[in-house]
Each structure stands twice: as C-alpha cells, then as structure tokens.
Amino acid sequence: MHNFPEALLLPNRLALPAEIAYLRDKYPMPQWRAHANYGELAAFWLQIHDALREQGRVLQQATLDFREGRSDATRFQRYFMPRLGQYLQHLEGHHHIEDAHYFPRFRGLDPRMVYGFDLLENDHEIIHDALLGTADSARTFRQDLARGHNAARHSADTYADTADRLLALLEQHLGDEEELVIPGVLEHSERPLR
C-alpha cells in the first residue's frame, strides 16, 4: 500500500485529482448511460451505490425524527435498529466484494488505475473504522433507549454525530469510486471484469 498524501485521504479529500481520475474528462457522467460499453455491471454498480446513499439518508431522517420528538422510543427502536444492521452489513459486504474481486481486476486493466484503486481500498479501511464507531454508538444508544428519554437524548446526539461522519465519508467515496469505475468500464468494457 502507498503512503498517500494527507490531502488525498478520504476525510480531507474534496475530489479526485485529474491524474487519478484520468478518464473522467473523456467520459463525463451525463454521457455514461448512452455509451455502448455501459452495461449491466455499470448499471448494477450505480444502483448499489444509490441504495447505500438512500439507506443512509433514511436512517439519518429517522434519527432526526427521534431527536426532534416526532417518533417515540419504542417505535423508533423497532424501525431503526434492524435497518441500521442491514445497512452496515450491506456496506461491509459491498466493500468486501470490491476489494476481493473487482478492484484487482480494474488494476489489471491499465497500470494507471492501480494508484486510484489502492486509494479506494484505503478509503474502505477508513470507512470500516467509521462504521465500527457508528455501530458502537448505536449499541450505546439502544441501551440508553431502554433506560429512558433523558439517557437516550445524549446518546442520540453522539450516535448522530458518528453516523453523519460515516455518511459524509461514504458520499465522498462513492462519488470518487464512480469516477474511476464507470469510465474504466466504458474504456475497457465489462468483459474483463466478469
């Protein structure tokens, strides 16, 4: 693995530089779906990313509703906890498949892709740490929900902070990943990735 500059690390990154996302200008996002090499894999990849974004937003809204008194503790816990578990498992599973299967294949397509996919794999480690922090704060939150509203109030705030951090990291990562993956698919087709 590389020693990435601080500015490229996920918590600090605002966008991928052009030398990493070197196909971005050749294949701008508005033209992706019309390209001849845009197929099932590219569509599925974007669909999974959209689902992860939506799941995160739904959980964020549910937490906000609880914090602002629009949802009582019992209803919130019944709705929220199973969905949080599904979301965290979905995220971990998706990253595992990418690291084990797809990223190595992308690296083999063009040596210029290696650094970008190494960076994305490093993102996964950062996201994993944030995910663990979110899961820990969710456990504390669940325990405090059983103790009563006052105890739950503080841990709801702590959970919301850790979950919001995870979502911010994930949003940046997913967008950056799409700027490498989809143009890579358009350039090289989906065949070598299957």
Q: What is the pLDDT of residue 61?
A: 95
Q: Would you write out the chain's pLDDT as a tens digit for each of its 194 residues?
A: 689 999 999 999 999 999 999 999 999 999 999 999 999 999 999 999 999 999 999 999 999 999 998 988 888 888 998 999 999 999 999 999 999 999 999 999 999 999 999 999 999 999 999 999 999 999 999 899 888 767 788 899 999 999 999 999 999 999 999 999 999 999 999 999 88
| Amino acid found at 141 | F
Q: What is the pLDDT of residue 149?
A: 66
Q: 176 to each of 12, 49, 50, 73, how far by Cα in Å?
A: 13, 11, 14, 37
Digit-coded pLDDT (tens) for 44-86: 999 999 999 999 999 999 999 999 989 888 888 889 989 999 9
- Please give the Cα distance from 113 to 167 (Å, whole number): 26
Q: 104 to each of 26, 87, 113, 192, how far by Cα in Å?
A: 23, 25, 10, 11
Q: Which two tokens stand for residue 30?
A: 């508005």
Q: What is the pLDDT of residue 154?
A: 86
56, 173 in Cβ contact below 8 A? no
